[in-house]
Amino acid sequence: MIRLLQPIAAWAHRNMPKREELEHNRWLGPFARRPELWRFTRRSVPRGVAVGLLVGIFALIPGIQILGAALMCMPVRGNIPLAALMTFLSNPATTPFILIGSAWVGNRFGFHADLSTLQMLYSHSASLADWTNWFLSDAAPAVLFGLFVISTITATVGYLVASFGWNWWIGHKHRARFQRGITSEPKTP
């Protein structure tokens, strides 16, 4: 299990924005100057994952997602790098599935969004104007409600998985340290 997670952790470490890089950004500079938003702790990791998933799925607008996740991390004291990383769950490959799922969920709750029109727009590589016209029709309430439901459920599941994963990881580190005979207490001469 550890060997499976190591390449993922290495990729995340390489691609995660660094605090020093963001300090010079006009919009994100105030967040970079608060060190508690960059620490990996038992509470900040699940909060950062949840915020990133919530904003990343609900917003679906690149650039706005990371800024929104950073803004939401401030009051909940979530980890900004993880929140920014989680926003990449919605990308050009997953966005059509998220939109179709959102329209379907919205339809299940009584709204109306024509899924065949959505599939046609996607398959014919429709222009931004065509997408805007479809969205401003009666599809908007269904898609927005579906996005809200999907992002909330995904954020909740992400929070739980990150919380259990963090506890498992820390427990694993403590067990390994104990097995090596290293204790946190200083040895007396």
73-132: pLDDT as tens digits: 888 999 988 898 899 988 888 888 898 899 899 989 988 877 777 777 778 877 878 877
50 lies in some domain: yes
77 lies in some domain: yes
**Residue 7, token pair as written in the block:** 């390449």
| Tally of CB atoms within 10 A around 43 | 14
Q: What sign for the dihedral angle of Cα 113, 116, 117, 120?
A: positive
Q: Which one of 41-45, 156-160, 169-173 scores highest in mean pLDDT? A: 156-160
188 lies in some domain: no
Please tell me the total count of domains within the chain. Answer: 1
187 lies in some domain: no
How high is the pLDDT of residue 184? 53
pLDDT tier, 25 (very low <50, low <70, confident <90, very high otherwise): confident
> Among 115-119, 143-147, 151-155, 168-172, whose mean pLDDT is lowest?
115-119
How high is the pLDDT of residue 17? 67
131 lies in some domain: yes
Q: Are 170 and 42 in contact (CB under 8 A)?
A: yes
167 lies in some domain: yes
